[in-house]
Amino acid sequence: MKQVNLGIIGGGTVGSGVYHAWRQNGALMASRLGMRVHLAQIAVKAFDEPRPYPIPESLLTTDWRSMVRRPDIDIVAELAGGTTVARDMVLEALRLGKPVVTANKALLSAHGEELFEAAGQSRANLYYEASVAGGIPIIKAIREGFVGNRITHLFGIVNGTCNYILTRMKQERAGFEAVLAEAHRLGYAEADPSLDVDGHDSLHKIGILASLAHGFWVRPETVHVEGIRGLSQADIQFAERLGYTIKLLGIIKAASPAGRAGRAARGSRIQVSVYPALIPSSHVLASVHHVFNAIFVRGDIVGDTLFYGRGAGKDATASAVLSDVADAALDLKFGTPCRVPPFVPHERAGAVIPIAQAVSRYYLRLTVLDQPGVLAQIAAILGRARISIASVIQPEGHAGDVVPLILMTHEAPNAPLAHALDRIQRLAVNRAPPVMIRVESFD
């Protein structure tokens, strides 16, 4: 039986998880592939660093360059993390014509365009299924399964830490800080949780998906990002009363109708954003709880599809890494650089629209004086901005001079809404900064 040799850079949580999974199911992979994947060596920072799964010292080296340059290493898996040395690792392997598997979303977000160009020049594939949504095969689905579709909408719950926090806040009426502390105790949140709760982890992932789906490289600085740190228990409860659930979504939407007769393939304009949103509690994404991820994809031919599963962790990520290793092994077996290229820029005039131009419905929570004429003042400001009010709620049981006022609007661009809120905040009857959360109804 033919054999290919795999070298792994990184022996921490993910690297040791891949080793453990390979030991467990390597023979099964061989029977399915008709060839063996032999794990030849693992490059690590130190032999004695803590690992979830032990790795025999005979497999370890601290010299990643020597391992990558070994003539018998056929495939390199970069599982070290980071965006500096990891970039050198991937480029070195590609320069030698060796296919690379990576789980490094931050690296692809920062240097993806350069890495895919290097892969194209060397005719060595770059596989990255594990970089987005852990064990959910979303990269392969978009790259191969939906190759005959234009992706018109994609909504993703792609950060398990945030989804865990929002689930607990809704189900237990707990506050953000208390749930964050519990998430840290359980290992769902890092000591510094800002990468997760401020939306940057979701930014890395949604940028990769947007680039793949729309055929031009989406730079991180063009993506609007809001996290969940400012969400209050009051907004979660008001949303529930209105029939909605709040989720942190990564959002990719065509800014104009796709698939129209005569529409050119070039020049697509898309919204790429990360922000908390109200979604109908009846929608399937609203039932995605705790650390699970889910990605809703709408294609112009296939229609609506949903991908659900564990989006992080050593085992889910290891599953995705081994899937990519299997693809790389088969490509080598049959002498093909790749079947479907990892990323093909085909919409060179495509662009991400500024958030100011994005159109949405809105949930607004205002804190105002409880006196006649207040709603009329607010409605007048919104009316001058051409923002239509869909419904108004002034909850009972809030005795005193200051009360909450909840408004739901019809669709409007973000820029006039932001201007209107600035004017509302300066009203004498206003007593706190207005709260605005966008509403996504998946129409």
Tokens found for residue 102: 């990576």
User: Alpha helix (H) ranges present in 134-243?
Assistant: 138-140, 160-172, 176-185, 194-197, 200-214, 233-241
> What distance in Å separates the CA atoms of residue 431 and residue 425, rounded to the nearest whole number?
8
**CA-CA distances (angstroms) from residue 424 to 255, 266, 376, 387, 417?**
28, 41, 12, 13, 10
Is-contact 224 199, C-beta < 8 A?
no
Q: Phi-psi region for residue 124, left (φ > 0), alpha (ψ -120 to 50) or beta?
A: beta
> What distance in Å separates the CA atoms of residue 27 and residue 371, rounded to the nearest whole number?
74
> What distance in Å separates the CA atoms of residue 89 and residue 76, rounded to the nearest whole number?
9
Is-contact 136 296, C-beta < 8 A?
no
Strand-pairing partners, residue 82, are none
Catalytic residue among 98, 105, 170, 205: 205
| Secondary structure class of 114 (helix, strand, coil) | helix
Q: Phi-psi region for residue 159, left (φ > 0), alpha (ψ -120 to 50) or beta?
A: beta
Q: Helices 105-122 & 200-214, crossing angle to 10 degrees?
A: 30
**CA-CA distances (angstroms) from residue 376 to 179, 304, 321, 383, 395?**
39, 41, 58, 10, 17
Q: Would you call 98 a catalytic residue per the annotation?
A: no
Tokens found for residue 441: 């109804």
**Which contacts of 302-307 are long-range, i.e. CB under 8 A and separated by 24 or more positions?**
302/146, 302/149, 305/141, 307/133, 307/136, 307/137, 307/138, 307/141
Residues catalogued as catalytic: 205
